[in-house]
Structure 1
Amino acid sequence: MLQRIRVAAVALAVGAGALALAPAASAAAGAKAPVISDVDISPGPPIVVFDNPVTATFSFTTKDAGKAELQLKAPGDVSVGTPVALTPSPHGSETKWTGTKSFDAKDAGKWSFLAIAHGDKDESSTRGTFEVRKALDTKIVDFDATPDLVSKGDLIRVSGRLLANGQGYGGQSVTITFREKGTDAFRHVTTATTRDSGWFATKVRADATGWWRAEFAGNKFARSSVSDTDRVDVRFRNRDSRIVGFDAYPEPVNKGDRLTFTGVLQASGWDPLPGERVSIFFKAGGSDRWEYVTSDVTGRNGRFLATATAVESGWWRAVFRGDHGVNGSVSDADWVTVNQPTPPPAAKSDSRLIKFNAYPEPVKRGHYLRFKGKLQIDDAGTWEGYGAKVRLYFKPKGSTHWQYVKTVWSTDSGKLYTKVKAWKSGTWKMVFRGDADFYGDTSRTDYVSVKR
């Protein structure tokens, strides 16, 4: 607040004594009253003291003043205060006055100041207060990373509490860091913000065994701090597996003939899983018991192929019992009808797969691609629709190998329809392998582009 004090027989009592200000001598005609600005303090209050004293600079400007003074009063000080030496910097009718004062931790509290500008006949003053603070001591307590044992890629919860001078310190950013076993340095992972109570918590993904901790970098008012470390052990999760494209054929089959079993074993990814044994099991119609029949070891493309003699109708499936680091899996079951031997049939007739079409073209990746066609057989010179099992195959762009996709049944009128999701560009076809009465046939091929 800016105020002027006219020096006209004014007395200021201090303690037991008194300071009298005598009337000033007559000023020269036209003398101007001094003007004083607000006091600027740098660094701006509050002045926070960490380990070393902090020197604050006080400055103000006067106009039409011959001299100036600055007094600082410490917390609880009942005296008039301590004068601060000022250095003037004249600029025309204005003068900038600058002084410094050093503060340390013992000076914490609310200070007051009084700045006075002395003119030829008047005085002007401004006063105010500022605060000196001791830096807050912080501590991160109750830090915890849980659970202590997880599988690779699992989420863990890290939590703790940030205290400042023993109280919860809210609204502060805490960094979560991690040091992997076998290394020396902690690396930044994520950050969390403390609640009003000082508590913080967040979830992070654990990919390796090592130590977790929380770090507070400090701020203008508080010191930095680091929590204790907490170790989390990470074990490698077993990969899942699956058997795709399992097929038992031919269907139907005569008793005593050979059945062939094919499929592909894959591990999560889904990459081929070579060098693993896949067993073939059979469950007769009306039975609840699966019985082991034969097995094969997968090749480099994960494919297996086994054969067995057809004895009776029933279900077939492939079983992978798992291996070190890989979980086991079971294929879908495939029913095969076994017919009793009959006299040699008459010569087989031809069949044909016509009107095969894959659409839409092109198709967006991950959207359904639809297929239609028609299966017909030659019945005494007339082509008629035929209901039978037809297989859908796919050859990716750039590949020379056809991949089995799925099996569909044609209606009694021979119509075929199915759909699958499209992931890669390539060529499609349908195959009827034939049966006891009719030769097999392959449809025309249809190339479909897959767009992202």
Structure 2
Amino acid sequence: MRIRATVAAVSGALALSALTVPVAQADSVPVISKVVVNGGKPIVLGTTATKKVTVSVTASHASGIDDALSYLWRGRDGKPNLYGFGFHPDGSRAKCKAAKATTSTCTLTITVDPGYLWNTNATSWHVYAAAWGKDGNFTERDSFSSVRFQRLSRLTVNASPEPVKKGKTITVTGKLDRANWDTRKYAGYTSQPVKLQFRKKNSSTYTTVKTVKTSKTGTLKTTVKAAQDGYWRWSFAGTTTTPAVNATGDFVDVK
């Protein structure tokens, strides 16, 4: 049976109500200045493969920084410890590197497993951050920043016939699909605008020829006239829930 996001966690996921951290001290707590998740890019996941995400927390304190913590979470009431779900760090401590005596950047990894996700989880997630000074003082931010989760997209192309006589018709087909976290399968992404692009044989630049919308099953089909040797591809710009993707160019020899 598939484990869902609402149950107790294993393999990097957790019910956030189970997570406890020390209470922040009133005096001279560390100051968190920056948190970077996944290099500042969205977290893109397929149907089964887990992904290790790097998180870096930069903080300062008069005594120096001893450790840091971060996790990614969603909560129905806007708070991580009530009805919350998220992914916590691998291991017990972050690796901290001092930039100067009072400031360090602490790095940790979080394993994200799509097996815990629903399609509705393809949205913006909260980023919790905490830091400890070397004197034991502690600070935390439930939602220091945010990171977007996206469903992995795939795009294919086929241009035929190959070869083709100059002036004759080329039929270009393809399919745009994306990960379905509800079913753990890929499904066609419907009614999406996708650009048909062409690159001359000795060029490195693609030019948009036309835009076609995907069908109810995510398929694409159009025709063009053969003019010269080159590569045909489909290009999808992406949406908030699904990343951009380009098909690998299909070469057509024009006689």
TM-score (norm 1): 0.33
Task: Indicate the residue corresponding to 1:100 in structure 2.
Answer: 109
How many Å separate the matches in 1 of 2:19 and 2:207?
Answer: 62
Q: C-alpha displacement at 1:57, in angstroms?
A: 1.0
SS of corresponding position for 1:164: strand
Q: Match of 2:57, SS?
A: strand
Go from structure 1 to structure 2 and tell me whether the alpha carbon gap of 1:217 and 1:155 turns closer, same or farther (over 3 Å shift): same
After TM superposition, give the deviation of residue 194 of structure 1 in Å: 4.3
Aligned residue among 240, 245, 255 for 1:222:
245
Is the contact between residue 35 and residue 124 of structure 1 (CA under 8 Å) also seen in structure 2? no
Equivalent position of 2:56 in the other structure: 59
Q: Which one of the candidate residues 106, 128, 131 is aligned to 2:145?
A: 128
* Map of 1:45 onto structure 2: 41
Change (3 A) 1:103 1:194: farther
**Residues 426-441 of structure 1 aligned to structure 2 (within 5 Å):** none
CA contact (8 A) 1:163 1:169 kept: no
The superposition leaves residues 417-452 of structure 1 with CA deviations (integer Å, 9 ceiling, x where unpaired) of xxxxxxxxxxxxxxxxxxxxxxxxxxxxxxxxxxxx
Q: Which residue of 2 aligns with 1:113?
A: 127
Q: 2:96 aligns with which of 88, 92, 102?
A: 88
The alpha carbon displacement at 1:170 in A equals 3.3
Residue identity opposite 2:52 in structure 1: T
Deviation at 1:115, TM superposition (A): 0.2
8 Å contact 2:233–2:246 — kept in the other structure?
A: no
- Compared with structure 1, are the counterparts of its residues 133 and 96 closer, same or farther at alpha carbon in structure 2 (3 Å cutoff)? same
Deviations 1:205-238 (A, max 9, x none): 379xxxx9844588964363677x9999x7xxxx
Q: Which amino acid aligns with 2:227?
A: R
Cα deviation digits, residues 185-220 of structure 1 (max 9, x gap): xx679854441525665433379xxxx984458896
Q: Secondary structure, in 3 states, of the residue corresponding to 1:155?
A: coil
Could you say what secondary structure the match of 1:137 adopts?
strand
Q: For 2:40 and 2:232, locate their aligned partners in 1 and report how far apart those are by CA, in whole Å.
A: 31
What is the aligned partner in structure 1 of residue 73 from structure 2?
73
1:94 CA drift (Å): 0.8
Contact 1:137 1:222 in 2 (8 A): yes
8 Å contact 2:52–2:111 — kept in the other structure? yes
| CA 1:175–1:117: 2 relative to 1, 3 Å | same
Partner SS state of residue 44, structure 2: strand
Kept after mapping to 1: 8 A contact 2:197/2:233: yes
Q: Counterparts of 2:112 and 2:149 in 1: how far apart (Å)?
A: 8
Question: Out of 167, 172, 196, which is 1:155 matched to?
Answer: 167
1:292-331 mapped onto 2 (5 Å cutoff) = none
- Cα distance in structure 2, aligned partners of 1:205 and 1:19: 66
- Over 3 Å counting, the alpha-carbon distance change for 1:36 and 1:218 in structure 2 is same
Give the distance between the partners of 1:18 and 1:54, measured in 2 at CA. Answer: 22
Structure-2 change in CA distance of 1:75 and 1:139 (3 Å): farther
Q: Which amino acid aligns with 1:222?
A: V
Structure 1: 5+ residue stretches without partners: 1-13, 178-186, 235-452
More helix by share: 2
Structure 2 CA distance for aligned equivalents of residues 32 and 215 of structure 1: 57
TM alignment of 1:15-414, pairs within 5 A? 32-49=28-45, 53-64=50-61, 65-73=65-73, 78-79=83-84, 81-84=86-89, 85-90=93-98, 91-103=100-112, 105-106=114-115, 109-110=122-123, 111-118=125-132, 123-125=139-141, 126-140=143-157, 154-165=166-177, 166=188, 167=190, 169-170=192-193, 172=195, 174-175=197-198, 192-195=208-211, 197=213, 201-205=223-227, 214-216=232-234, 221-222=244-245, 224=247
- Residues paired across the two proteins, number: 194
Task: Quickly say closer, same or farther: Cα 1:203–1:123, change in 2 above 3 A.
Answer: same
Alignment partner, residue 181 of structure 2: none
How many angstroms apart in 1 are the aligned matches of 2:101 and 2:147? 31
The aligned residue for residue 429 of structure 1 is none
**Distance in 1 between residues matched to 2:21 and 2:96, nearest whole Å:** 27
Q: Which runs of 5+ in 2 are unaligned?
A: 1-15, 178-187, 215-220, 238-242
Q: How far apart are 1:43 and its partner, in Å?
A: 3.5
Q: Which has the higher contact order (CA 8 A, sep 6+)?
A: 2
Report the AA paired with residue 58 of structure 1.
V
